[in-house]
Structure 1
Amino acid sequence: MALPKKRRSTSKRKIRTNLWKAEASSAALKAISLGKIRDFHFMIFRIKKSPFSRFSEPHKALRKPRGFVSRRGI
């Protein structure tokens, strides 16, 4: 007569899921850090075509933005 398989205990199931979650979490952190490094290198080593960059102050632009002129200053 065939018998059903034994069920895996809840403690073993929790251990296995926690291991899986830990591996997934470490892989996600590694992917995020690699993405940050690549983004940082891209921002530093790209050719600066615009007067605004991520690391510069916006008030030190080469020219004034158009469309925000006061009527008194004309």
Structure 2
Amino acid sequence: MWVVGLRKVNRDAMRANFLVLTPPRVLDGYPASWITSFYFSPEKADFFNRLVGQCPDLTVIDIAAVLRQLQRA
């Protein structure tokens, strides 16, 4: 396998900005992580609390709560 490109990673960005692309099946059998982001209204917080309770391998980060804490610091 060859490295065909490099780029600078913006660590301050609040989005996935480091990706590795490989041909199909190259990484079969290796651990994988999936990441996504989405908005949900505060009224839906109970749904996500139940979801994490049912799927303990999920990590949900409330960015609004993190930002509120940072603004107070």
Q: TM-score range by the shorter chain?
A: under 0.3
TM value normalised by structure 2: 0.19
TM value normalised by structure 1: 0.19
The structure with the greater share of residues assigned to helix is 1
Greater RCO between the two (CA within 8 Å, min separation 6)? 2
